Amino acid sequence: MTDPDAARLLEPPGPVDVALTLRPLQRGAADPTVRAAPEGVWLTRREPDGRGRTLPATLLVSPQAGGRVLARAWGPGAALAAARADLLLGLHDDGWAAFDTLLAPDSGRPVLPWHVREARRRRPGLRLPAGGQLARQLMTVVLEQKVTHDQARHGWRTLVRLSHRIDDATPPGPAPAGMLLPPTPDAVLRVPSWDWHARAWVQPAQSRAVLEVARRASTLDRLGEATPPGDAAAAARLARMLLRVPGIGPWTAAEALQRSHGAADIVSVGDYHLAQFVGQVLTGRRTDDAGMLRLLAPWAGHRQRVVRLIGLSGERKQAFGPKLTPADHRRI
């Protein structure tokens, strides 16, 4: 492995599970921009330089002995990528200590089910990543709107590869084979209209929303950079602003901000399964969005932490009714 262009050794105040924390940034095991490997988690990034440009970088985040974490980066954006490693790992977020206090039986809060509390005990290194790059996160989340897991993952992989043909996205440094840089907004806007559905399996409403985000990418990223991670009130304001973008609803805004800003209190209202699953885990009965918000209300300020632990609790979603089987009109 070649020497990095920038490196940073982090000494977190508590445990950090690198792979688990960064997992939400990966869109499936075959995501060309994020890859978990034995040596750590690889990410390809385009870092804003503050002058209206983005600089490509390859970043490797690796756990080290003694609870330390090493961030190594290559490429023109290496120094910027390494500098953001603490935010990527959620080290800016000091809310976990307060949340752990609320888990105590005498806190006055409802007692979470045993397997949810056990998920926290077994995974003390879980954090909420703040990956930045709001426009990119919005694009990837839009591709997940009202589609199957396979559709969403295929759409993102194909968009990255289609963009690579337009604007060379070869990552710098020793990135693993098959990895590519995330697409630039300009490359997304230049993807031929017929490729969205014929190759990427992306529905017209989704492609229109992705293109709208690409057109507004510089503004969206400026808004994102101006919103400090860990500021719940600022994240809520930004979420309301995102609703003004055509094709962006509450669910899309929430899912994007959870990844770009580590939003600890923004819940994905409108998810096809989430409300039912939260109700199932917390009460034994499925519920709707309004019911989910009522159940999570005692955990205001930490609602997304509770949701993440529910997802790690080991309980499986109850399956009722037929599964969505969308038509596939891609060219073979």
The pTM score is 0.93
Asked if 61 and 73 count as a contact pair (C-beta separation under 8 A), the reply is no
d(CA 210, CA 250): 16
Of 197, 183, 217, 156, nearest in space to 326 by CA: 197
pLDDT of amino acid 10: 97
Tokens 């101006």, located at residue: 226
- Residue ranges in the chain modelled with pLDDT below 70: 319-332
Of 151, 170, 152, 215, nearest in space to 188 by CA: 215
Task: Please classify residue 115 by burial: count the beta carbons closer than 10 Å to its beta carbon, then call 0-12 exposed, 13-18 middle and 19+ buried.
Answer: middle
pLDDT of amino acid 327: 56
pLDDT of amino acid 197: 86
Q: Domain ranges for the chain, please list them.
A: 6-88
Reading the block at residue 217, the tokens are: 């990418």
d(CA 85, CA 36): 16
Radius of gyration of the chain measured on its C-alpha atoms: 20
pLDDT of amino acid 324: 53
Composition of the chain by helix, strand, coil, percent to 5: 45, 10, 45
